[in-house]
Amino acid sequence: CRGVAREMRCVAERQVLLERAYEREKQERERVTERSGWELEDSRERMARLEKLAAVGQLTATVSHELRNPLAAARTANAAVARRLRNVEGALEDPRLQRFLAIVDRELGVCASLTSEMLEFVRERPLVLQPCSLHGLMEEVIDVVPSREGVAVVNHVPTALEPPWVDREMLRKVLINLVQNAVEAMPLGRQGVVEVSAELGVGRAFHIRVSDNGGGIPAGVLDHIFDPLFTTKEHGTGLGLTVVSSTVRQHGGTLRVESREGEGSVFTICLPRARSVTGVACSS
């Protein structure tokens, strides 16, 4: 009897083990199924974004090309009217007239800039790599970005830092965009500081950081700042940071952002030290 009882206990124990194994297998299958569902949904979302980008790119290229010449003609005509009126006695005595002409010229300039930005979004030219002093490049960027009262832009890039091989003009546009965004987003009345630093970090990659002590980026906005056509600016195209991200990727690098509301934001560009990137033309 004792032998039978022992055998029955063994059978019961094996049954418990089998049931536990079955439960673990069931849970693992459920996790795999759930993960596959997420991956499928993510793949669908990526395909939808790519299709949207293709349609936006085609439309943008057409519209931008068609607008460039009319905008240039309108701006030239406005300048000609201003010159003619200066030669007409008493024509510009009314200060409102001068202001209206200035407004027309300014807004036509904004339209021209937006058109150029949209064309840049759809055109991806080959990179021309050359060694570039990041300190010197940042000095140029600071000179170009419009200043704002109460906001200081500080260049912390070491003068002795090894020059990375980059497309200088394209990286210049990237840094102008990031620094100008930081300056423009600074809350009124705050003593703002925008700091740019760079180093040759772990893995022998260049890290370029643009940080500010502004109001930060709301979580709901942060999730979409690199999405095409997403903007919180009144006159923005929603393409600036998309172009920035695309340019960094074209260099074989990455771009990430960290932000806390009320504390500020940090944009970090990570670029490879290597002189060549897939699909890149290197200058002599």
Q: Kindly write down the DSSP assignment for every residue of 48-88, as one continuous string.
A: HHHHHHHHHHHHHHHHHHHHHHHHHHHHHHHHHHHHHHHTS
Query: What is the band of 25 on the pLDDT scale with cuts at 50, 70, 90?
Result: confident
Whether residues 114 and 14 fall in one domain: yes
Phi, psi of 37, rounded to the nearest 5 degrees? -65, -45
Whether residues 142 and 270 fall in one domain: yes
Nearest C-alpha neighbor of 137 from the set 177, 173, 113: 173
* Overall domain count for the chain: 2
* Per-chain mean pLDDT for the chain: 79
Q: Against a cut of 0.95, is the pTM above it?
A: no
Whether residues 269 and 142 fall in one domain: yes
Model pLDDT, residue 131: 94
Q: Count CA atoms closer than 13 A to 253's CA, side-chain side.
A: 27
Question: Which residue segment(s) compose the domain that 68 sits in?
Answer: 1-123
Model pLDDT, residue 12: 61
Nearest C-alpha neighbor of 242 from the set 183, 199, 181, 283: 181
Q: What is the DSSP letter of 148?
A: B
Whether residues 94 and 190 fall in one domain: no
**pLDDT, greater one: 105 or 190:** 105
Model pLDDT, residue 279: 43
Averaged over 83-100, what is the pLDDT?
A: 78
CATH code at 226? 3.30.565.10
Whether residues 183 and 252 fall in one domain: yes
Whether residues 225 and 262 fall in one domain: yes
Angle at which helices 2-86 and 95-122 pack, to 10 degrees?
140
Q: 253, exposed or middle or buried, with CB in 10 Å at 0-12, 13-18, 19+?
A: buried
Helix or strand or coil: residue 246? helix
Averaged over 186-207, what is the pLDDT?
A: 87
Which of 104, 123, 142 represents a domain boundary (last residue)?
A: 123
Strand order in the sheet with 281-282: 165-166, 128-131, 281-282
What percentage of the chain reaches a pLDDT higher than 70?
71
**pLDDT, greater one: 117 or 188:** 188
Write the pLDDT tens digit of every residue in 140-188.
Answer: 999 999 888 889 999 999 999 999 999 999 999 999 999 998 998 888 8
Whether residues 132 and 258 fall in one domain: yes
List the beta bridge partners of residue 151: 148, 192
Model pLDDT, residue 161: 94
Whether residues 144 and 104 fall in one domain: no
Whether residues 22 and 90 fall in one domain: yes
Which of 89, 123, 157 represents a domain boundary (last residue)?
A: 123
Whether residues 114 and 169 fall in one domain: no
Whether residues 155 and 118 fall in one domain: no
Which of 74, 95, 123 represents a domain boundary (last residue)?
A: 123
Whether residues 201 and 147 fall in one domain: yes
Write the pLDDT tens digit of every residue in 228-274.
Answer: 666 666 656 566 788 888 889 989 999 999 998 888 999 999 999 87
